[in-house]
């Protein structure tokens, strides 16, 4: 096993969507609904809000879309959680709460193996899927949103749980996930662009934007209605 180099990119240091989804998604949209809400107070000074989600990756573009299957411990990396007070605010990227982080840069051998497995003449079925125009794929997962209980430690300042409890019953949630394993490019620089060109006869591989030597592809969901009373009652 090679040593792991950890460098964390905190989403909170930037506008939550400016660095997350700044390019056209070519019709790839993420829609969903909340199935279950529960709270966890296991960590002193924090309240963890755990959400079970049903999400649909939809291709509303004119060409087939190629996306990765979940790879991060059989999951996508949960990049950020955004909460707005109204649907209009969520659509305008005006958030009451916005938090998250990028995955760490890692030289772990698992990404070396993933890089080699992806570097194929055609999209490997065990690692990718192709969504034809007008089709969707459903995925169920759970995410955790952490709130400070009543003391401000984070910068920039975020509402605490006590402050969030004053909100009305209807809020709007957006969640984001990494759609490309950028750590694979630690071993094969510019792999994303090469595969996008190589696989274009099969569809459009959405790889986001290049940042330094790696591609960052964070897909942010459409606003999801959140009955806030379900959070307060647990």
Instruction: Work out the average pLDDT over 190-210.
Output: 96
Residue 174 within any structural domain of the chain:
yes
Specify the pLDDT at position 23. 55
Residue 201 within any structural domain of the chain:
yes
Higher pLDDT, 16 or 197: 197
Q: Say how many C-beta atoms besides its own lie within 10 A of residue 115's C-beta.
A: 18
Judge whether residue 69 has pLDDT over 70. Answer: yes
Residue 2 within any structural domain of the chain:
no
Instruction: Work out the average pLDDT over 170-195.
Output: 96
Residue 3 within any structural domain of the chain:
no
Phi–psi pair at 79, nearest 5 degrees: -85, -35
pLDDT band at 119 (very low <50, low <70, confident <90, very high): very high
Residue 203 within any structural domain of the chain:
yes
Residue 5 within any structural domain of the chain:
no
80-89 pLDDT tens trace: 999 999 999 9
The residue segments making up the domain with residue 72 are: 11-232
Residue 75 within any structural domain of the chain:
yes
1-59 pLDDT tens trace: 343 333 344 333 334 443 444 457 899 999 999 999 999 999 999 999 999 999 999 99
Residues of 149-173 as b/e, b for ≥16 C-beta within 10 angstroms? eeeeeeeeebbbbeebeebeeebbb
Residue 6 within any structural domain of the chain:
no
| pTM for the whole structure | 0.87
């Amino acid at each position: 096993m090679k040593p792991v180099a950890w460098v964390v990119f905190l989403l909170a240091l930037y506008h939550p969507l400016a660095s997350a989804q700044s390019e056209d998604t070519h019709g790839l949209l993420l829609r969903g609904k909340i199935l279950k809400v529960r709270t966890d107070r296991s960590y002193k000074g924090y309240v963890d809000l755990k959400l079970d989600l049903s999400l649909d990756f939809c291709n509303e573009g004119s060409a087939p879309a190629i996306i990765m299957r979940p790879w991060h411990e059989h999951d996508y990396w949960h990049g950020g959680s955004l909460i707005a007070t109204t649907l209009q605010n969520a659509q305008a990227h005006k958030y009451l709460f916005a938090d998250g982080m990028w995955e760490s840069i890692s030289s772990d051998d698992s990404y070396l193996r993933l890089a080699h497995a992806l570097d194929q003449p055609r999209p490997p079925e065990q690692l990718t899927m192709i969504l034809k125009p007008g089709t969707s794929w459903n995925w169920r997962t759970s995410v955790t949103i952490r709130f400070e209980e009543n003391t401000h430690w984070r910068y920039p300042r975020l509402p605490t749980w006590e402050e969030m409890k004053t909100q009305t019953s209807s809020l709007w949630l957006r969640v984001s996930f990494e759609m490309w394993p950028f750590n694979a490019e630690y071993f094969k620089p510019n792999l994303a662009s090469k595969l996008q060109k190589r696989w274009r006869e099969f569809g459009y591989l959405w790889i986001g934007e290049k940042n330094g030597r790696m591609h960052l592809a964070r897909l942010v969901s459409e606003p999801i209605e959140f009955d806030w009373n379900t959070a307060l009652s647990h």
